[in-house]
Amino acid sequence: MERLLKKKWVAMLCAVLCTVLWGSAYPVIKYGYSQLGIDTVADKLMFAGVRFFTAGVMVFITAWIIHRRVPLIPRGRIGGVALYGAVQTGLMYILNYIGVANTTATKTSVLTAASAFFAVIFAPLFFRDERLTALKVAGVVIGMGGIMLVNSDRLGGFTFMGEGLVLISTLLNTAGGFIGKRVSKGIVFESSAYQLMTGGAMILIVALIMGGGYPVNTQSILIVLYLAFVSAAAFTLWTALLVYHDAGDILVFNMLIPVTGAVWSFFILGEKQIFEPMYMLSVALTALGIILVNYRTKSKVKS
């Protein structure tokens, strides 16, 4: 598996697959809300907690099968992996799931691209080999311009409980990426499994305290299993790609997430923002920004 993922063409196909899976997540979440009658914050958190804990179990079982041993975290990294899960999955998705419910899946796909720009801005504060260059600054300015454009009044405007929480969650995603960089070396599957289960359990506890729940039937089980698979497969695969290749070669594929997200939103939810000229301009600016900040970079920051 490792030898295969180190091949350039395989890595490119896998990176595209990750963006296709991630792009489908937000419209499927909103579809689940509508089909299962999930309205309250507590219900949404229960929905999220079950998804991520299940995803962690999926990765745990996969790692067990691949390595033929029970996946364990080295004692010295247990605290780091727990923090990784609390930030990357727990806090991030508590805010993200609430925000997604209060904006469109199409806009969410663009807003999540802000993580790439936050990573460029804050990386020099945490990693000595990271430097801000003129090209990176230009990429951040152009990309954030695209994100500001998607929040214009013509495309629905900006609200704190919607777009605001999604943006804060992307900032937490960036922070989680920095933590993951330090704790995942040599234990990609293990760290992915335990951080997903830790974050999922954290969300579940909050949801239970708040009295959350949702209908358990064939439809809800299938939706949760699909979303869990997206998290388990895409997150673990993406982390592995960042370990085996220069981050710049992989992170540039983030530009596809707004596109795949918009396409999935159109087919699953019937959202037609993808055809708005201003939205297409926003996607183009965001994609160009991601390309510029990752152009010929040797950064190994995992965003």
Q: What is the pLDDT of residue 235?
A: 80
Residue carrying structure tokens 């040797």:
298
Token pair belonging to 186: 């040599």
The Cα 262–Cα 26 span in angstroms is 10
What b/e readout covers 146-168, taking b as 16+ CB neighbours within 10 angstroms? bbebbbeeebbebeeebbbbbbb
Predicted confidence (pLDDT) per residue in 16-56, tens digit: 899 899 889 889 998 999 999 998 889 999 999 999 999 99
Give, as one character, the DSSP assignment of residue 217.
Answer: S
Q: What is the pLDDT of residue 2?
A: 64
Residue type, 239: T
The Cα 238–Cα 240 span in angstroms is 5
Give the closest residue to 196 by CA, choosing from 36, 31, 81.
81
Predicted confidence (pLDDT) per residue in 199-230, tens digit: 999 999 999 999 999 999 999 999 999 999 99
User: Average pLDDT for residues 259-279, to the nearest whole number?
Assistant: 82
Question: How distant is the alpha carbon of residue 78 from its chain centre?
Answer: 22
The Cα 262–Cα 267 span in angstroms is 9
Token pair belonging to 132: 């801000």
The Cα 163–Cα 201 span in angstroms is 25
Share of the chain above pLDDT 70, in %: 91
First-residue to last-residue Cα distance in the chain: 23
Asked if residue 298 has pLDDT above 60, the reply is no
The Cα 237–Cα 189 span in angstroms is 9
Instruction: Look over the chain and give the mean of its residue pLDDT values, rounded to a whole number.
Output: 83
Residue 168 banded pLDDT, cuts 50, 70, 90: very high
Higher-pLDDT residue of 154, 103: 103
Q: What is the pLDDT of residue 209?
A: 94
Burial class (CB in 10 A: 0-12, 13-18, 19+), 269: middle
CA angle (164 as vertex; 230, 22 as ends), nearest 5: 15
The Cα 245–Cα 241 span in angstroms is 6
Q: What is the pLDDT of residue 249?
A: 66
Element (H, E) at 31: helix 8-36
